[in-house]
Structure 1
Amino acid sequence: MSSACGAKTMAKNRFEQVNEIQPDAITLVLKRDIDGATGSVVMPAASSGGRLSNDQVSAPLPAQDAFRGAIRLANDVKLAIVVCDPDGVWKPEWGDLYRALD
């Protein structure tokens, strides 16, 4: 991609939006409540190569911190990230959300 000035711009990251926690990906669960926009990160036991016996769920964090934590974890364990966002917390500057066509 190039901008009008000829400088190259990076493509936005794309994340699949899902309705439930996925067994084969890191799931970023976003929600809005009385504390504001928060998120939790779910590491599925099924994708841990036997290292985990149960899914691991982070404590609720501010949404942006949860997003950053999900990115770090996904990079460390080499898994994709999916997003469960029933309350519309996702920020466009984090990337593009899309729904997979069945």
Structure 2
Amino acid sequence: MANRFEQVDEIVGDAITVALEQRIDGQWAKVVCPKSAHESFAADRVTEPMPPKDALSGAVKLANDLNLAIVVLDPNGIWKKEWGELYRVEDDDAGEGE
């Protein structure tokens, strides 16, 4: 997967957020779609916890269908490089003009 995903510190109102979590029983993720992200949403949508790779795959499909951005909330640092590139906006600022 050659996708790039912005890492954030909280749910983003105009994007799909994949919220990763390290728990005693393993690594899990939820896909969060706030009502404010798309005019077709009548309410916030939050999935049940699932394996991170499945959450990311589902988020990519939904984002493509609705033309929304995806961001990643990863407070425990469980992101794996094979899922794509995870970056922070300030990381890109240093590379401007390349």
- Which of the residues 75, 84, 90 maps onto 2:64? 75
Distance 2:35 2:43 in 1: 5
Q: Does 1:26 align with 2:16?
A: yes
Distance 2:34 2:73 in 1: 14
**Higher helix content, 1 or 2:** 2
Distance 1:41 1:93 in 2: 19
Given residue 21 of structure 1, which amino acid in structure 2 is its aligned partner?
I
Superposed, which structure 2 residues align to 1:80-99 within 5 Å? 80-99=69-88
What stretches of structure 1 of length at least 5 have no aligned partner?
1-10
Compare CA radii of gyration and give the structure with the larger one.
1
Q: Please say if residues 35 and 42 of structure 2, whose CA atoms lie closer than 8 Å, have aligned partners that are also in contact.
A: yes
What RMSD over aligned residues (CA atoms) do the two structures have, in Å?
1.5
Superposed, which structure 2 residues align to 1:51-70 within 5 Å? 51-70=40-59
Q: Shift of the alpha carbon at 1:67? A: 1.1
Q: Shift of the alpha carbon at 1:44? A: 1.4
Distance 2:59 2:89 in 1: 20
Q: Please report the TM-score for the alignment, with normalisation by the length of structure 1.
A: 0.82
What stretches of structure 2 of length at least 5 have no aligned partner?
94-98
Aligned length: 91
What is the aligned-residue identity percentage?
A: 53
Given residue 15 of structure 1, which amino acid in structure 2 is its aligned partner?
F
